[in-house]
Amino acid sequence: MAKTTSKKTLNWIGTYLVWIVATLVVIIPIYWMFIVSARSRVEMFGAPSLIQTTFFAENYTKPLLNPTFQRYMINSVIIATSNAVLVAVLALIATYALSRWRLPGADNIFFWTITNRMAPPAAFLLPLFLMYTRIFKFGEWTLFDTRLGLILLYCVFNLPFAIWLMKGIMDGIPKELDEAAMVDGAGTWSILLRIIAPLSAPGLAITAILSWVFAWNEYLFAASLTSVEARTITTGLAEFVTVTGTNWGEMAAVAMLALLPALLFLSFVQKYIVMGLTFGAVKE
């Protein structure tokens, strides 16, 4: 009995140690970034220390009052939110069709959508640049340096993952519910909106969350397919690296500000994360 209790205690201690180490690995870089954001340039090149007793507010106020960085933040919010909504809606419709309509080659279609996520994003960079600047051109207007261009592009890359995630959730909803609704005279859209969508709400939530985070953090396409008007906050961080040096304080401050919307968004919907990832995982 004593050995069993001792073994359980050791397992408990080991589990908590692993979680403590994992937490520190995540928190320490964020804490250090905050320390850097709170220091002036003089303090920055002083003796390194993990304790910060002063706060250099200009690192935060200067970017916040800069109209350019205000536009970057607004662009990021609009692009990430629009992408999340569009991806969630399209993923719901696509998985409903693949799961319920018994389309010829549905399994092959599902696998093909996943292969789109396997290629490195850099492989698409040159074709996308040519498409955005020359092919999708209507007079003087192009998709280059537009919010719409980034929203559609992020949708292309996030939708395969969203379909893969929603497929398991859709398979967990009994098909008998569809059949019962059809007997009562419900149509396809009525079934989708009144039955499938409410039941798959946790899955839709996690799909929207992950799509939002992916779009918010994306840098490569945002830096290559925008120039002024549609630049996002992640690309704005690179502007603190100049030929005369790097303004580490303001860069760290803007990075901290860029974390806040994501943290607030996740704090409101965190209860759906585990529910959405496990929904439909166990079937009787």
Q: Which residue has the tokens 């759906």?
A: 272
Taking residues 86-91, report their average pLDDT. 93
Inform me whether the pLDDT recorded for 2 exceeds 50.
yes
Pick the last residue of a domain from 9, 32, 56: 56
What's the confidence (pLDDT) of residue 155? 92
| Residue with the larger pLDDT of the pair 137 and 143 | 143
In 3D, which of 166, 161, 281 has the Cα closest to residue 213?
161
In this structure, are 10 and 123 located in the same domain? Answer: no
Chain segment 148-158, per-residue pLDDT in tens: 999 999 998 89
Query: Which tokens sit at 24?
Result: 């520190």
Indicate whether 3 pLDDT > 70.
Answer: no
Average pLDDT on 25-52 reads: 86
User: 99: closest CA among 180, 192, 211?
Assistant: 192
Please state, in angstroms and rounded to a whole number, the distance separating the CA atoms of residues 78 and 50: 36
What value does the mean pLDDT take over residues 96-113? 75
Query: Is 245 strand, coil or helix?
Result: strand
Look at 54 and 85; give whichever has higher pLDDT.
85
Place of tokens 């320390």: 35
Examine residue 99 and state whether it is found in any structural domain, yes or no: yes
Same domain, 138 and 29: no
Could you tell me if residue 283 is inside a domain? Answer: no
The number of distinct structural domains making up the chain is 2
CATH number at residue 162: 1.10.3720.10
Whether 103 and 124 map to the same domain: the answer is: yes
Lowest mean pLDDT among 53-67, 98-112, 167-181, 196-210: 98-112
Check whether residue 141 and residue 192 sit in a common domain.
yes
pLDDT for 283 equals 45
Convert the pLDDT of each residue in 44-70 to its tens digit. 877 777 788 888 899 999 988 999 999
Q: What is the pLDDT of residue 276?
A: 55
Burial class (CB in 10 A: 0-12, 13-18, 19+), 239: middle
Break the chain down into helix, strand, coil percent, rounded to 5. Answer: 75, 5, 25
Same-domain check for residues 66 and 13: no
pLDDT attached to residue 215: 93
Whether residue 41 is found in the same domain as residue 125 = no
> Number of helices and strands (H, E) in the chain?
15, 4
Among residues 31, 56, 81, the one where a domain terminates is 56
Residue 190 lies in a domain: yes
Per DSSP, the residues of 146-209 read -HHHHHHHHHHHHHHHHHHHHHHHHHTS-HHHHHHHHHTT--HHHHIIIIIHHHTHHHHHHHHH
Q: Is a pLDDT exceeding 90 seen at residue 176? A: no
Q: Based on the domain organization, do 45 and 132 belong to the same domain?
A: no
Q: Is residue 257 part of a domain?
A: yes
Residue 166 within a domain? yes
Q: Which of 12, 27, 56 is the last residue of a domain?
A: 56
Tell me what pLDDT residue 53 has.
Answer: 81
Domain membership of residue 193 as a residue range: 59-278
Identify whether residues 48 and 166 lie together within a single domain: no
Same domain, yes or no, for 234 and 117? yes
**Domain-located, residue 20:** yes
pLDDT of residue 1: 54
Same domain? 126 vs 180: yes
Cα 246 to chain centroid distance, Å, stands at 28
In b/e form, how buried is each residue of 246-270, taking b as 16+ CB within 10 angstroms?
Answer: ebbbbbbbbbbbbeebbeebeeeee
Tell me if 37 is assigned to some domain: yes
Tell whether 114 and 212 lie within a shared domain.
yes
Mean predicted confidence (pLDDT) in 185-210: 85
Q: What percent of the chain has pLDDT over 90?
A: 30
Q: Does an H or E element contain 141, and which?
A: strand 141-142
What pLDDT, on the 0 to 100 scale, is given for residue 197?
A: 87
- pLDDT confidence of 275, banded at 50, 70, 90? low
Please indicate, yes or no, whether residues 66 and 52 belong to a single structural domain of this protein.
no
pLDDT at 149: 93
218/99: higher pLDDT:
218
